[in-house]
Structure formats: C-alpha cells, structure tokens
Structure 1
Amino acid sequence: MGPQGAGKGTQAARLAERYGVPAISTGDIFRANIKGGTELGRLAQEYSAKGDLVPDSVTNAMVRDRLAEADVARGFILDGYPRNAAQVVELDAILDGLGVSLDAVVELTADRDELLARLSKRAELEGREDDTAEAIARRLDIYDEQTAPLTAAYAERGVLAQVDGIGAIDDVTGRLVAALEPLLS
C-alpha cells in the first residue's frame, strides 16, 4: 500500500523476484486494457482521465479472477489493492474462499511534495495521460481519505509494516525486506 508515486510498482517487482511470487498490479492491468481498447480499458480510461478510481465492482472481479490463477499458489504480492474498506472486506472474502491468509501488508510512506514531483516526472517520461497535475492531486487526496485509514485495521491484525519509500531504490528494498522478514516467518 502507499500513495501513487511512493514506489509500489518498483518495489513490488523487486519483492516478487526475491520471493519467487507474482506481483499483481491493478494499475498495470488497467493500462494494458486501456492500450488494448477493451471495454474494461475504456471504462478505466474514463475514470482515470478524471483522476477517479475504477469502481470497486470492476476491480474486485479482476482481482478475484487473477488470484484464482495457478501461479499464485506459492504466494503473491498485491500492488495497489485494496484501496478502501469495501475492498478490504472483498479481499478477505476472496482469500477465505481460496483458503489463504494475508501474511503481511506493507505501506510505503512518502512526503506529498516528493510524490507530486515523482509523478510529474513520470508523466513527462512516460507520456501518461492519467498523470495530469489535477489528476495526481485528486488521486493523492483519495488515498488520504480512503486508503490511508486502512493501515490502522491491518496494524490491529498485526500484519502491517510501514516503510519509508524515499531514497535509493536498493535502500528502500532493503528496508522492505527487513520489515517483512518478521511478518513472513
């Protein structure tokens, strides 16, 4: 978990490689559908262009289908899901149905000004239409309102690790691994 620009995608890929499990990013799935011009892609683009999140019903169905695939049997890393309390309930139901428990939740933290700078630079480099200044600010506000409060619930379950997402990529990875090890053993 963490606000956009905190490095979730980069770190999820690194952790997936380290632990030999797939990284599952709702953002990547949405972008692939947008690029492919699918119905889901058009719907996702419509919401993303306004800086809004794709509706839970679409996101939950996509995650449920993905977690039913064979390559997640040894574990997985979710990147950008759950984002709100309703998705936490849905994820619990999905995992319960699969007979799987949640081992750890990591929240990458970062200063808002740093996030705005990172996302603006990413928009320039990648030409991402969904990274306008207004859309970035809106998504960060949505994170603050809907997702950040979820960390308290995961802390109560004893599965939350908060890690500073600012710094060299290798340093952040090292902090993540150090924070995860006690939760995974």
Structure 2
Amino acid sequence: MNIVLFGPPGAGKGTQAKELAKHYNISHISTGDILRANVRDGTKLGIKAKEYMNKGELVPDEVLIGIIRDRIQQPDCKHGYMLDGYPRTIPQAEALKDILGKVGKPIDVVLNIEVPDKELIGRLSGRRMCSCGESYHMMFNPPLKQGICDVCGGKLYQRDDDKEEVVSQRLEVYAAKTKPLIDYYSNINILVNIDGTGTVESVFRQICDVLDSHQK
C-alpha cells in the first residue's frame, strides 16, 4: 500500500507514520528527518535547508524532489511506502505524480490529520530536544529534571523552528501553500480526513480502520 500522511506541523504525522510503517510493514519516508539529519551533519543540503527551516518557510522544491526521487526507488519501498512531510504544495504534488507514474508506484490513499492551530502551537512550542536524539514536551512528556535529558544527562534545547513566533509563521505558510492539497486530493477521491485531537492510540486506530477498509 502506498500512502501519503498529510497535516499541519505538529499534527503527529511522524509519530503515526513510524507506527503505521511497522504495523503494515511498509517503508516510512520522512523528508523532515532527512533534512534534519543533513542540518545536524552540516552538509551543503543541510546548510541550505536550515536557512528556510529557521524562518518557518518551506524548503525549495528542487531540494526535496531529488530526495524523494532517489528514496522511492530504493529496494525497501518495493512493497509500499508512507510519505510523511511531502508533498506540501500543488507543484510538489504534480511532480510527485510524475515521479510515481514513472516508477509504477501510485498513491493509494492520502490521510489528512486535522488539528486546530491553537493546539498545534501548544504542542510545538512546548517541545524540547537533546543532542542524543531524545525529545520531550514540557506539558505532555517533561524530563525528570527540568532542562536535562533523562537518558544522557545532556542539556535540552528548543529548536529554532519550534519557537512560538516561528510556529505561527509555519502555520501561516501551511494555510497559504499546503491546504489547497486537500482539494487537490479530494478531487481525485483518495483523501480521507482524520481527527488528530485525540490520543496517539485513538488516532492510530482511526487510521488503521481506514487503511484496513482500503485493503479489502
């Protein structure tokens, strides 16, 4: 099964994609994870991408399209994939359609996780990260000692793109450039809306119900 997981920043796409990929034995492709790895490693791609990410702006299409083209053709995508964080604009959706058409891997369903902006701002601005890879949330999953990682004892930090003013900008960019994809995929009858305001488990169950019905 070939899936696109869609929704605003902080909607829980990454968390759901990882669990769904394991549950259905398909590959999870996260452009966000790939970009952040490049930023962390200081690659040319990472340096270029960081300029946009820190402003809450979308990384240019020419950077992302090449990543997806290479990734979707790797052997682990033979039996299916879940795209998380791509596409985000109509031009990206059109480019993706062309890429998938050429490799014979069309999208089966697009899942749109919906969460109100007020809740998204609370989710994202409360997130804290550690250099070891652990993440926390000041409200939902705080560390045992404020500002210190439970795993390695490192100092926690807030990503520039998680600061409230940048989060608000990211949501404005989303509203202007990404929400039109709802109509785009709805018009070709592969979009399903998911209520993302519940627990991780309840959202997961909703999605599984949808995917299981598509497999019948």
Give the TM-score, by structure 2 length. 0.82
Indicate whether 1:137 and 2:168 are aligned. Answer: yes
- Counterparts of residues 63-102 of structure 1 (less than 5 Å): 63-102=68-107
Residue number among 196, 200, 204 corresponding to 1:165 in the alignment: 196
Report the CA distance shift for 1:77/1:161 in structure 2 as closer, same or farther (over 3 A): same
* In 2, Cα distance between equivalents of 1:123 and 1:112: 19
Structure 1 residue 60: Cα displacement: 0.7
Q: How many residues align?
A: 185
10-19 vs 134-143, which moves further = 134-143
Q: Which structure has more helix as a fraction of its residues? A: 1
Residue number among 187, 191, 195 corresponding to 1:156 in the alignment: 187
Structure 1 counterpart of 2:39: 34
Indicate whether 1:22 and 2:22 are aligned. Answer: no
Instruction: Give the letter aligned to residue 66 of structure 1.
Output: R
Q: Which runs of 4+ in 1 moved over 4 A?
A: none
Structure number with greater CO (CA < 8 Å, separation at least 6) is: 1
* In 2, Cα distance between equivalents of 1:122 and 1:148: 24
* In 1, Cα distance between equivalents of 2:104 and 2:183: 24
Give the TM-score, by structure 1 length. 0.96
- Where structure 2 has 5 or more consecutive residues not aligned to the other structure, the ranges are 1-5, 130-135, 137-156
**Is 1:51–1:134's contact at 8 Å kept on the other side of the alignment?**
no
* In 2, Cα distance between equivalents of 1:35 and 1:78: 22
- Counterparts of residues 33-52 of structure 1 (less than 5 Å): 33-52=38-57
**Is 1:163–1:179's contact at 8 Å kept on the other side of the alignment?**
no
- Where structure 1 has 5 or more consecutive residues not aligned to the other structure, the ranges are none
Q: Percent identity?
A: 42
Q: Who wins on radius of gyration, i.e. which is larger?
A: 2
